[in-house]
């Protein structure tokens, strides 16, 4: 949050720092006066009751008016800051990205390009993207601190906000609303690319997966995918798999992480995840299918073809 990379994030950061500095100034003033008074006005030996003062009107008006002016000023700055952090959405503007919160992962889709991904938001640098936020089951909350405000994802009530990043890079975020046992392992990342890279990414990811992988071993993995219950939860565009319960796996091999930011996406981790998801993310809706090591190897080989 102190290192923002978007106009929206900068507005929040500036407002926070300004408020913090003012509050720190007031704290130092009050604490300093208390310390000063308690040292310099201590009762001295032999001193009687001090003179009782029942009001200094000028001082009282002063300490009422000064905070009121300060608060009004802060209100004005906050009002402007909120406008910059969360610009109003134009009427009839279609969302660029739809992010849906599920227990405990994120569906990410690009309705105009027909791309469906998960746990990773791709954005072109310097462009304001309209993100629609949907609660898929319970209330979640999307927060990528360096890119701006956080916003709730409420079932039955889509919210929208503008998101932007100025520099290419990876920006880490998380679910910021307690949503059940694996709330802490519900991470998300924004992968910000140059506009050319982003367009290329959209193009590759709008393509379906090959109907049949080339290598025989991966083909065996594909058959297992359809025979075992993988196909009842996951979709792989271009194949018979089209269930919407778990993440869409059409291009799973090109993602950076598995299980919503919990594991780096490597063949070893993919195998460990398929072998026993409950050990890595207890309570996750991905079941342990009790597959043999050979079956897992074939499935991983198939997953690795889904670039």
The per-residue b/e assignment along 211-229, b for 16 or more CB within 10 angstroms, e otherwise, is eebeeeebbbbbebbeeee
The minimum distance between CB 176 and ligand CUA, in angstroms, equals 7
In sequence order, the 6+-apart residues with CB closer than 8 A to the CB of 211 are: 238, 239
For ligand CUA, the binding residue among 16, 36, 63, 178 (CB under 6 A) is 178
Q: Does 261 bind ligand CUA (CB under 6 A)?
A: no
The count of chain residues that interact with ligand CUA, using the rule CB under 6 A, is 9
* In the complex, least distance from residue 121 CB atom to ligand CUA, rounded to whole angstroms: 15
- Please tell me whether residue 275 binds ligand CUA under the rule CB under 6 A: no
Strand stretches in the chain, DSSP E: 97-102, 105-110, 115-118, 120-124, 129-135, 140-143, 151-153, 159-163, 169-175, 187-193, 257-258, 263-264
Kindly state the smallest distance separating residue 209's Cβ from ligand CUA, in Å. 28
The two structure tokens encoding residue 58? 């000028």
Q: How far is the CB of 179 from ligand CUA (least distance, A)?
A: 3
5, 96, 120, 177: which one contacts ligand CUA (CB under 6 A)? 177
Q: Do residues 242 and 209 make contact, with C-beta atoms less than 8 angstroms apart?
A: no
φ, ψ of residue 282 to 5 degrees: the values are -60, 135
Compare residues 183 and 297 and give the one whose CB is closer to ligand CUA.
Answer: 183
Beta strands at 120-124 and 187-193: parallel, antiparallel or unpaired = parallel
Residues 146-165 within binding reach of ligand CUA (CB under 6 A): none
Binding mask 184-223 for ligand CUA (x = CB under 6 A): --x-------------------------------------
Of 169, 151, 206, give the one whose Cα is nearest residue 6: 169
- The piece of 17-25, 62-70, 83-91, 171-179 that touches ligand CUA (CB under 6 A) is 171-179
What is the contact surface with ligand CUA in residues (CB under 6 A)? 101, 104, 140, 175, 177-179, 183, 186
């Amino acid at each position: 949050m102190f290192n923002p990379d978007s106009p929206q994030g900068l507005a929040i950061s500036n407002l926070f720092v300004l408020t913090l500095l003012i509050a720190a100034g007031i704290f130092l003033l009050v604490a300093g006066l208390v310390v000063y008074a308690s040292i310099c006005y201590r009762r001295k030996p032999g001193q009687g009751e001090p003179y009782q003062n029942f009001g200094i009107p000028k001082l009282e008006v002063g300490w009422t008016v000064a905070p009121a002016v300060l608060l009004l000023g802060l209100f004005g700055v906050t009002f402007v800051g909120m406008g910059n952090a969360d610009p109003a959405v134009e009427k009839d503007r279609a969302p660029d990205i739809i992010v849906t919160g599920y227990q405990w992962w994120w569906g990410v889709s690009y309705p105009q390009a027909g791309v469906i991904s998960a746990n990773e938001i791709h954005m072109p640098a310097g462009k304001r993207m309209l993100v629609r936020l949907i609660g898929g089951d319970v209330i979640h909350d999307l927060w990528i601190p360096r890119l701006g405000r956080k916003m709730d994802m409420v079932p039955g009530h889509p919210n929208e906000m503008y998101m932007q990043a100025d520099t290419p890079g990876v920006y880490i975020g998380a679910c910021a609303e307690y949503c059940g046992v694996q709330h802490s392992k519900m991470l998300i990342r924004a992968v910000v690319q140059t506009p050319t890279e982003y367009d290329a990414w959209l193009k590759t990811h709008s393509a379906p997966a090959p109907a049949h992988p080339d290598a025989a071993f991966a083909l065996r993995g594909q058959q297992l995918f359809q025979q075992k219950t993988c196909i009842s939860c996951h979709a792989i565009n271009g194949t018979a798999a089209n269930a919407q319960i778990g993440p869409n796996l059409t291009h799973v091999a090109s993602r950076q992480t598995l299980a919503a930011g919990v594991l780096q996406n490597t063949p070893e981790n993919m195998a460990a995840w398929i072998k026993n998801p409950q050990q890595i993310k207890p309570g996750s809706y991905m079941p342990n299918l009790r597959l043999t090591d050979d079956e897992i190897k074939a499935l991983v080989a198939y997953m690795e073809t889904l670039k």
